[in-house]
A and B are shown apart, each in its own frame.
Chain A
Amino acid sequence: MMKMMNALKVGMVLAAGLIAGFMPLQGQGGGNGKALPKAGPVKRLADGKPDLQGFWETRNFFSAFDLETHTVATLEIPVGKGVVVDPPDGKIPYQPWALAKKQEHLNSHLADDPQAHCFLSGVPRQTYTPFGFQILQPEGNLVFFYESFHAYRIIHMNTRPHPDPAIKLFEGDSRGHWEGDTVVVDVANLNGRTWFDMAGNFHSDALHVVERYTPIDANTINYEATITDPTVFTRPWKIAFALGRNLEANYENLEYACVEGEQDLVHYTESQGGQKKDQ
């Protein structure tokens, strides 16, 4: 077993250990808390487009717990500030039935969170799931390799339409284009099996996401996602936060092998009211 564990950075997202890792960061909004070196201008490729390549991570670690402001620590979700910027009250505009469902999810999230089952995180959750991601920018595509769950997303920078809506995907189908220095990514074909965070915020397979990645200097990308799902919400809503470049020298993505290392899976396959079966 130890050999297997060597190959993992064991999931902070999946284990209570995450609390210890994230608590000190709360409310700082500056990510790792260190003063960041002054960043130069946005890097450019030969064709003049921004060069987004490198390793990035969210500067708002709390969103992995809850997209909304969380005022009372609940079932391993600490208090923290949300990232919903529209509506202005910072609340996800649920339909009444869906708000009740979200509350059920919150109560059973330790057992029912799709991430606890090693399922792919979906969009936009993948963006703020810990351990960051690498952006590659070969001609014709933007490619995101995330360390968590060795997930990847291919952003097709062409004009082809999304595939047939009969095809449902955990990470959806992503089509991107440039608007000035902003990459606008239209994400469709999403399934209804992912959540937005550990607090059980959720959607249906009617979900449609439009992401905007705007580099503002060499080390910062402003990220926005507008979320539409008429089955679950009363109106579109938006989250926003910054992604920061990982400045560690010689940094590389390592291997996060969730299925192989998730030895608690058997305890988690059914909701136990937030409790493991063996407790």
Chain B
Amino acid sequence: MRRTVRRASATVFALLACAAAVWGQQAAGYKAPRTRDGQPDLQGIWSARNAASGSLEAHTASQGIRAGNSVIVDPADGKIPYRTEAIAKRDENFKNRQTADPLNKCYTPGVPRLMYLPYPFQIFQTNEYLAVASEFAHTTRTIYLNGTSHLPDIEFWMGDSRAHWEGETLVVDVANFNAETWLDMSGNFHSEQMRVIERMTRVAPDELRYEATITDPKVFTRPWTIRMPLYLHREPDAQLFEYECPVYLEDEAKAKK
């Protein structure tokens, strides 16, 4: 009897493990390599290949924006659950996006937008810090792994990122945002009340699964979640260069004079 129960639970466990793999928690059997401190090693140069930088929702192509599927996995309809009064603001943002998009002014992209821009970023990891360096306008994030808390009363363009490990997954709690950044090129936005919980898991040697749950009671009716794979750059000479956005903006303004 006892043996049967054991066998049954083993079967259930195997099924669950299988389901977890299908659900995309992790490819069966894959465990990320370890850093010298024993943490799952997320280091490398990564970038998205999807159309999320254009819009997080399913969208048709338009000037400078490539068509794409929704990357929103919750709610199930793939739409951002805006409060009624916030939709007008989003539509206005979309209409004025050429001038109103903070990225067109070379402002710091914010989180999660930095993670799916069409510019690579590199992760560096020590036991206390996970440092993210992006090629876009030399944007950086420091993700604290040292058990410290969010700083009180300080707003950041990139938010304040404090993280911990849940098994193979890095869970990052990002708070202290300002209300100046957008989520994509289509005017999707948030307020200073935004909170982002990111989950990053290396599910294969070349794939970092990225998930972000966005909460902002001022703008959205409920939390919602995006999920996408980020890909490792495999070129042997891959390295970050510089996209110095404000320099090119100033050069362009001077050339027009």
Contact = CB atoms under 8 A, between A and B. Distances in A.
B35 A257 contact: no
Contact of A150 (B126, B139, B155): B139
B92 interface: no
Interface string A185-211: 000000001000000000000000000
Contact of B178 (A3, A150, A167): A3
A4 B250 contact: no
A269 B107 contact: no
A170 B247 CA distance: 10
A120 B126 contact: no
B192 A3 contact: yes
B158 interface: yes
Interface residues of B, number: 44
B65 interface: no
Contact of A154 (B137, B180, B237, B240): B240
Contacts of B239: 154, 156, 163, 173
Nearest to A254: B154
A107 B131 CA distance: 39
Contacts of A171: 138, 242
Contacts of A173: 239
A104 interface: no
B105 to A, nearest CB: 8
Interface string A129-164: 000001011110101010001111010100010010
Given A163-B237, A252-B151, A139 B247 contact: no
A256 to B, nearest CB: 10
Nearest to B106: A259
A18 interface: no
Contact of A3 (B107, B137, B179, B240): B179
B213 interface: no
Interface residues of A, number: 41
A170 B244 contact: yes
A74 interface: no
Contacts of B254: 269
Given A120-B138, A136-B131, A151-B138, A46 B36 contact: yes
Q: Mostly helix, strand, loop or mixed at chain A's interface?
A: loop
A170 to B, nearest CB: 6
B129 interface: yes
Contacts of A118: 246
Contact of A136 (B36, B124, B241): B124
Contacts of A150: 108, 138-140
Nearest to A146: B140
A103 to B, nearest CB: 23
Contacts of B178: 3-4, 6-7
B35 A139 contact: yes
A135 B108 CA distance: 22
A117 interface: yes
Given A3-B179, A120-B138, A255-B158, A152 B241 contact: no
A169 interface: yes
Nearest to B37: A138
Nearest to B157: A257
A180 B121 CA distance: 32
Contacts of A255: 108, 156-158
B192 A160 contact: no
A250 B242 contact: no
A53 B126 contact: yes
A119 B249 CA distance: 11
Nearest to A5: B155
B98 interface: no
B241 A138 contact: no
Contact of B131 (A4, A6, A145, A257): A145
A163 B178 CA distance: 38
Contacts of B25: none
B82 to A, nearest CB: 22
17 contacts: A7-B157, A119-B244, A119-B246, A120-B242, A136-B131, A138-B35, A138-B43, A138-B126, A139-B35, A143-B133, A145-B131, A150-B140, A160-B237, A170-B247, A257-B157, A259-B246, A260-B180
Given A163-B237, A259-B105, 18 more contacts: A4-B178, A6-B154, A7-B178, A120-B138, A138-B43, A145-B133, A154-B122, A154-B133, A160-B237, A173-B239, A252-B151, A257-B108, A257-B157, A259-B107, A259-B108, A260-B108, A260-B157, A269-B253
Shortest 10 CB-CB contacts between residues of A and residues of B:
A259-B246, A255-B156, A6-B155, A138-B124, A152-B133, A150-B140, A143-B124, A169-B242, A260-B107, A7-B155
